[in-house]
Structure 1
């Protein structure tokens, strides 16, 4: 039995879709806060169990009989560590044979403030005695392609990453990696640094968007505090706005770049090119 936590989220759904290609549906468990959000998977025969990272009793029930668990990191920045600790403890009680955790690229040395909770989680995971594998995911290309409509409206990509290289990959690439690891043997103790094959600056992102859209798009570098204000003004909650801006400042220091191509080797194909991700959005 394989449990996918946060299975109704963007990454979790993609992981389930990947696993369904080779695993019988009744051997998969979608663990979610709201079961209605995975009714489509339930109709295929996937087991659905209700969980809440903050309620240990729900975790005990969700992981009963599980062989492997994918812990997709909580989206509640600032509360992640205690939530992850609850999951790890529940996996230990259940005798889980492998716990895969989605961490952050180069979490142990990252300049991104976002890394702190991942560092804490990795440390307690290693001390727990639960067999584990760590998937240190880089940035999702969707973090930037989601802003394409605004960039086209204002003829500018705005940010505070400077000329930092960003080796992002599509969310589907990271999902394929997670599925590959969950289906493989002898993964305990491994740490994977996962990122896109080719890095780009936000200036290069703007240039690619210009070429494909036929509209001149420039990159506008901003101070971090002004970028936070801009993100909040666009409707993002303050913690998310701060996280994104701080991460871009970290990108300027190399925090979102990796040239190992571990991701593409793991999934057996190149990571999704930036040009393809941009094209997909423009065709919507």
Structure 2
């Protein structure tokens, strides 16, 4: 069985490749495909085949998918471009005779008000209409998404966001990568849609406590209104598009869009998901325990 992992030069894609190898996949059965030549060279040192691809370059996708049984479609990062890019991947997979696509989607993509959901919903619809075998992994939030906020809090001395009492059931990227590897190497996942998230939905008081532990001083959480948040981000010089995105995401969190704890992720990987503090400490390179 040959598996092509797209986005392999990104954080999640690389971890999926590593998890496949750790679970016994032959290096020669894995094609690590991505855009960054230096990172592809580092992946080649693991013994896997590499391929240079771009989601907007159909010829590169066609070449990478030759002889592939499965394609791990790691969602693109360019908002507004993802549906077209993912469609190119799906078309190339069809043309290459790929048997199955495994796709990293978003929580409750078909019903959620999450600002990221529409492109994922559209991609899921394309996959379901393609005639290919598929498994949908609706990945929840990555704990590593809060590393930038940790640095900002280190500088400002607080967490000041407009999430209210909202909760986030995050898990580490490694947890999600392990789930992808389990699905790619295992059986019984055809046609399945998994709602993946951490075991615990934490609030931003909990996040502040984790930051305090890591930084060695108290970092309080200050709840602010959306209007205050927009004003503060604008004053800090953030681009208007980024300001609107963050404000919308905080509103989604406040409304519960990222708090679902289905248990699917822990069940797939056969262990509890990585707790918030441990995930942050690991991502920051701090020894745990």
Asked whether 1:19 is paired with 2:58, we answer no
Report what 1:121 is aligned to.
Answer: 123
Q: CA deviation digits over 1:44-84, x for unaligned, max 9?
A: 32111111111111111110100011101110001100000
CA drift of 1:152 comes to: 2.3
| Stretch deviating more after TM superposition (226-235 or 121-130) | 226-235
Q: Secondary structure at the match of 1:278?
A: helix
More displaced stretch, 233-242 vs 243-252: 233-242
SS in 1 for 2:75: coil
Q: In the alignment, which residue of structure 2 is the partner of 1:278?
A: 280
Check 1:4–1:244 CA distance in 2 against 1; reply closer, same or farther (3 A cut). farther
Question: How far apart, in 2, do the equivalents of 1:50 and 1:57 lie?
Answer: 11
Is 189-198 or 111-120 further displaced after alignment?
Answer: 111-120
**What RMSD, in angstroms, separates the aligned Cα atoms of the two structures?**
2.0
C-alpha deviations, 1:102-144, integer Å up to 9, x for none? 0001111212121010111111111111111100000001111
Separation in structure 2 between the aligned mates of residue 54 and residue 93 of structure 1, nearest angstrom: 16
Aligned to 1:224: 226
1:54 aligns with 2:44: no
SS at match of 2:167: coil
Give structure 2 stretches of 5+ with no counterpart. Answer: none
Q: Within 2, Cα distance between the matches of 1:122 and 1:229? A: 36
Q: Give the TM-score of the pair, scaled to structure 1.
A: 0.93
Between Structure 1 and Structure 2, how many residues are aligned? 284
SS of alignment partner, residue 92 of structure 1 = helix
In structure 2, the residue matched to 1:30 is 32
Does structure 1 retain, via aligned residues, the 8 Å contact 2:101–2:134? yes
Once the 2 structures are TM-superposed, how far is the Cα of residue 211 of structure 1 from its aligned partner?
Answer: 4.3
Q: Secondary structure at the match of 2:202?
A: coil
Residues 35, 48 of structure 1: 8 Å contact kept = no
How many Å separate the matches in 2 of 1:231 and 1:100?
Answer: 37
Matched, 1:182 2:184: yes
Other-structure match for 1:210: 212
Give the 3 Å change call, closer, same or farther, for CA 64–169 of structure 1 in structure 2: same
Aligned partner of 2:245 in structure 1 is 243
With over 3 angstroms needed to count, the CA separation of the structure-2 counterparts of 1:27 and 1:192, relative to structure 1, is same
Asked whether the 8 Å contact 1:158–1:221 carries over to 2, the reply is yes
User: What are structure 1's unaligned runs of at least 5 residues?
Assistant: none
1:161 to 153, 163, 167: 163
Higher mean displacement: 240-249 or 37-46: 240-249
User: Larger deviation: 144-153 or 112-121?
Assistant: 144-153
Moved more, 159-168 or 71-80: 159-168
Q: Give how far 1:204 is off.
A: 1.9
SS in 2 for 1:146: helix
Q: Does structure 2 conserve the Cα–Cα contact (< 8 Å) formed by 1:155 and 1:217? A: yes
